[in-house]
Amino acid sequence: MELLFLPGSYAVCPACHGSRYNPETLEVDYRGKTIADVLGLSVDDAARFLADVPAAARSLETLREVGLGYLRLGQPATELSGGEAQRIKLASELQRARRGHTLYLLDEPTTGLHPSDVQLLLAQLNRLVDAGNTVIVVEHNLDVIAAADWVIDLGPSGGDAGGRILVAGPPEVVAAYPESRTAPYLARRLSS
Ligand SMILES: [Zn+2]
């Protein structure tokens, strides 16, 4: 529903009660599940349910590899965080498995990501780099910064008080730079 002066509002469709399919479509099932049931599954559950359907299994496995196993298959795109949307794009890139010569520019892909899944995301980013691609990530997450080959520290503060390149180099060099606000945190992260 479009509301004047207010953001749009969502309500459950009275015809299909949110299943998004007509009764004829919902009569069809696969191992006891309709298409609406399948869209209600998480990526993790669907990976088990569709394990022997190669085309689906490959896509679902890639989504799990970027830490999105908890997402519902039918989750509306409007409910995704920016980080989740970027990781879905990343998953489709990983599936295409192109070789090298691609520049990936990511803006805080760890947003909304559980800390344990950051390691999963880093493994995938490293896979892209190992294949000869270049990955540029805008990040505050220290695990991501510490794992980079080259760090460009912008600052010294945010907004009007930022935007200058303070220091650039490997994480160890940035961590030792006295003017950098990130340095002490990065130093602690590198020594742990
Ligand atoms: Zn409907």
pLDDT by 10s per residue, the chain, length 192: 777 777 777 888 888 888 889 999 999 999 999 999 999 999 999 999 999 999 899 999 989 988 899 999 998 888 888 888 888 888 888 777 666 788 999 998 888 778 888 888 898 899 889 989 999 999 999 999 999 999 999 988 888 988 899 999 999 999 999 989 999 999 999 998
pTM of the model: 0.70
Distance 13 CA to ligand 1 centre (A): 5
Residues with CB under 5 A from ligand 1 (ion): 13, 15-16
List Cβ neighbours of 60 (8 Å cut-off, separation of 6 or more).
43, 46, 47, 50
Distance 19 CA to ligand 1 centre (A): 6
Give the bridge partners for 154, in sequence order.
Answer: 165
List Cβ neighbours of 127 (8 Å cut-off, separation of 6 or more).
94
Distance, CA of 166 to CA of 151 (rounded, Å)? 11
